[in-house]
Structure formats: structure tokens, C-alpha cells
Amino acid sequence: MILKTELYKKFKSLESYDKYSEEYELFSFNFHKFSTEKYLVVNDTGEFIFLEYKQLKKLISKSLNYFSNDKKLFDELLNKQFIYLKKNKFAIEQKAIKYRTKKQFLYSGPVLHIFVVTIRCQHKCHYCQVTPQGIRSKEHDMTYDILKKSVDMMMQSPSDYLTVEFQGGETLLAFDTVKEIVNYTNELNEEKNKDITFVLATSLVDITVEQLNFIKENNIHLSTSLDGPEDLHNMNRPIKSQNTYLKFKEGFQKSNDFLGQSPSPLLTVSRNSLNRIEDIVQEYLEFNCNSLSLRSLSPYGFAVKTMAKIGYSVEDFIEFFINSLEYIIKLNLNGIYFREDYTSLLLKRILTPYSTGYVDLQSPSGAGVNALVYYYNGEVYPADEARMLAEMGDKSFLLGNVMDDNYNEIYNNKKLEVLVNDSCAESLNGCNDCTYLQYCGCDPLFNYVTQKDHYGHRPTSDFCTRQKAIFKYLFSYIESEDSKVNDIFWSWINNAPELNTAINTKESCDNATT
């Protein structure tokens, strides 16, 4: 009798579910027509789905029926939280957990701390974002008192994880300052017990064994610049009366041999680079690098004066970027692991529930919220671009000075509050209804420089135009469900060549042949 009762309850609950199956509510989402047949729909936690027009119409009109041909779609929309059943009391709480995960960066405090130890430099790079000083101008080096105050301020960040990045100028010209900062940070960290990563940005020119010893002992990561083959590198990054490329190559090989790992190079794309992608990638492979990052020119510093000579349109950059990805994907399909790092960041935001630490891809902007810059003269800025702007005579984003202001005065500065308020993409016209909102970010400094205010104007924004083109390109591959290319994407996200089936298949074939 009890069994019959339980069985009746099960069938009764099924009938009830049938009755209420159409009674669902919508979570918020954006969409646009992606192709002739499909719409791309993305919700506010970054889950996405491609729908036909009829499916989208039924979703919005709440006419999907679980016990019909809609069952599979209904389940997917439910699992990805585009919809929720009215009787599910915990649906909104579950959604909130996902949203908090996406916005986790807001809880940590500043993680990235950039120390501009000097603005002296031997290079005269055509695209330089700062205003470099001569190598003998030591008055442009950070003093001990300033570096000590800067480290004291950094260690007050509530974050358990800190990245200390040394910028210049050429950091090797002020390497004693770098050593002082590392040693003092480690000294304070004996009590704080934070997880600290050191990164040194350098051209590698004239790097010494003594410097490499210190770098190795303190597990400092090296970041550098390589613009491609010898002629291109020399053209973009000249040093008076010297072959820049050969100097770089010597420093790179010395560092690689000494540290047992290759420094991470960055490529700044000039007009001279636009027709050279195959040459550039092959050069990176010659240096045993398995990735590059394609960075467009920035409207700061010395680069502003040379833009007429080395600049290009946003359309030119988009074409270059997409052609580059096509070539890099082709390499991977042919069994050569190589990735583009900016694309990897975007893919992580699209295909995983996690955000990234990349300041320009956060909403509100990570400037100040997740990053602080300590200039050589003690001034504190919310982003590297802000101190570059200051070098051009505009100190609109100056937050204070470590010699005069404490952490609370810097971090609670009214300018930073305004910056945060003005960079919430969810409330900005042109961003709030964009399908790619959850994967993109807001760069108020770029808007300020190029369009004269924090908000910017999306239809004429180069940043917006570039981002939309890249997202559309990536989603075209995702929508195609090309398993090999999607495996390549996952191998980039995880920096794991073994996830690339094209490479593993080629290796298996090679081994079989052998």
C-alpha cells in the first residue's frame, strides 16, 4: 500500500511539472543577429547560446514547453540560467554565486603594483608610450626613501596575492633600485606572508651575469619586447650607432641559458608590421617562444609624435589581428603549439566562469581597483597609462604622493571613486545592451585621451570597434563546433599543448612512422 502511494506521488509530481513547465521567468540577457540563421544570446554571467529566430521568439514570449520538441533547448536554457522555474526558490541565489565569481576581482584590493624605477632609456622606440630620458639623467631614478614608502603602501593592500612589476624606461639602468625593492618587500613579507610574484620588464640589452644571479635567486619573471626579424626590430626599436636586434638576441640567449626559461616577449604592432605576420611568428619560433601578444599602438608619450609615420587605422589592425590568428591556428593544426596571449585571455572569459586580472577587461575598470602605479618621483596613479598621460603634462588621474599621503587617502581618493563610477560598462550607453558585455571591459583612460571624457562614444571608439571584431571572429569558430580548433582554444586557455588534439595526433603519427 505504501509503495502504491509513493508511486502515485511520483506520477502526481510529474503531472504538476507538466502543468508548471511553461511557468518560467527570464534572467537578463543580451542578443544580436550573428548570422543569417542564428542569434548569439549571452546572459549576465557570460553563458551563451546560439538560437534560431523561432527559438528566440519562444524563449522571450515564455512559450517553451518542456514536454515537446523544446525539451532539449529548455534543459540547456535552464542549466545555463537563461531561465528559471518559478517554483525554484534558490535560482536567484545560484545565479548570484556565478555573478560574484565573475566579479571576484572587486573584493581583493590592488593586486598589480607597478614600480617605475626610472624613465632613463638607451632606446628611442618610435612607439614609446613614455617620454624617455638620457641614460645619464639619474635624477629620474626612484630614490630609496620613495621606494621604501611605496613598498610600505603596497603591503597594506588587503590582497593575499601581489604582482610587483618593474617598469621604465629601461629597468636594468636602475637595477640597484630593483634590488632594494625586492629585498625590502621580502623583508616585510616575512610578517605579512603574502604570495608575491616579481616581474621585470626589460629590453635585455646589456644584461649582466650579476643581474641574472639576482633574478634567478628571487624567481623574477622577465618580460621583454621582440618586434620580429632583424630589420623590423631595428626599425621600430633603434639604439644610436648599435644593432638593437643583435643586442637583444645576445641578452635573450644569455637569459635563457642562465635561467633555463625564455623571457616572455611582447610585440607592438607598427605600420611596418602589418604585412609581416609570418616573418614575425617564425622569428618568435626561432627564439623558442610558444606565444606572442599582439599589442596595438597607444596614444601616449613619444608615440603621439610618430603616429603619422608608424600609425594605421583600426580597420588595418583588425585585419592584421585576424590574419595573424588564422596563421597561428594553421600552425597549431599542423602540429606546432603556438598561441596569441590576448586571444587566450578573451577565450578564458568566454569559455570559463572566471574573470582575468587584465585591467582593461574589467567592469568597473581595474585601474586603481586592482592596480596602482608608483612613479619614480613618488606620485601614485591608477594605471600605467595614467602616468604616461602625466608625462604629457596632464595629471588628471594623479591620486597622490607616497611622501605626503597614506594608503587610505590614496585608495579613497575622489578621483578613483569617479573613475570607478564612470567605468561600469553595465550602465554605459552602447555597452549595457552589447552582446559581448560580459567578456569585454571599459577603459576610461583610453576614452579620455581619444574622446575627451571617461565614458567615450561607442560608435566611434576604436577600442569598441576592435573588440567587437575580435569577439565575432572567435565566436564564429565556437559556433562552427570545429572540434580541432576548439581544442586549440582550450590548450591556449590552459597553456597546455597536450589538450591540442591536432598536435597529439601529429606526434602519434610521427612516432608511428619512426
Q: What is the pLDDT of residues 308-367, one digit of tens each?
A: 889 999 999 999 999 999 999 999 999 999 999 999 999 999 999 887 778 888 999 989
For residue 205, the model assigns a pLDDT of 94
* pLDDT higher than threshold 80 for residue 84: yes
Q: How many residues does the chain have?
A: 514
* CA–CA distance, 478 with 35 (Å, rounded to integer): 13
The mean pLDDT value for 119-136 works out to: 84
- Delimit the domains of the chain by residue range: 2-102, 104-415
Q: Which of 340, 446, 334 is nearest to 386 (CA)?
A: 446
Percent of the chain with pLDDT strictly greater than 90: 73
Q: What is the mean pLDDT of the chain?
A: 90
452 residue type, one letter:
K
DSSP-assigned beta bridge partners for residue 29: 43
Q: Which residues of 221-260 are buried (b: 16+ CB within 10 A; e: fewer)?
A: bbbbbbbbbeebbbbbbebeeeebbebbbebbeebbeebe
* CA–CA distance, 340 with 293 (Å, rounded to integer): 5
For residue 506, the model assigns a pLDDT of 55
Comparing 31 with 262, the larger pLDDT belongs to 31
* pLDDT higher than threshold 70 for residue 87: yes
* CA–CA distance, 383 with 370 (Å, rounded to integer): 9
Q: How confident is the model at residue 9 (pLDDT cuts 50, 70, 90)?
A: very low
For residue 391, the model assigns a pLDDT of 85
For residue 302, the model assigns a pLDDT of 64
* pLDDT higher than threshold 80 for residue 161: yes
The mean pLDDT value for 3-24 works out to: 47
Among 29-38, 310-319, 384-393, 458-467, which stretch is predicted with the lowest mean pLDDT? 384-393
Residue 31 grid coordinates: 542578443
Distance between terminal CA atoms of the chain? 70
Among 116-125, 126-135, 300-309, 472-481, which stretch is predicted with the lowest mean pLDDT? 300-309
The mean pLDDT value for 437-455 works out to: 91
Complete DSSP assignment for 201-238: E---TT--HHHHHHHHHTTPEEEEE--SSHHHHHHHS-
Residue 26 grid coordinates: 527570464
* CA–CA distance, 98 with 44 (Å, rounded to integer): 9
* Pairing label, strands 24-26, 83-85: antiparallel
* pLDDT higher than threshold 60 for residue 7: no
The mean pLDDT value for 448-468 works out to: 93
For residue 71, the model assigns a pLDDT of 92
User: Do the beta carbons of residue 478 and residue 47 sit within 8 Å?
Assistant: no
Backbone angles phi, psi at 454, to 5 degrees: -65, -30
CATH superfamily name and code, 104-415? Aldolase class I (3.20.20.70)
Comparing 21 with 177, the larger pLDDT belongs to 177
The mean pLDDT value for 446-468 works out to: 93
* CA–CA distance, 109 with 162 (Å, rounded to integer): 10
Comparing 229 with 86, the larger pLDDT belongs to 229
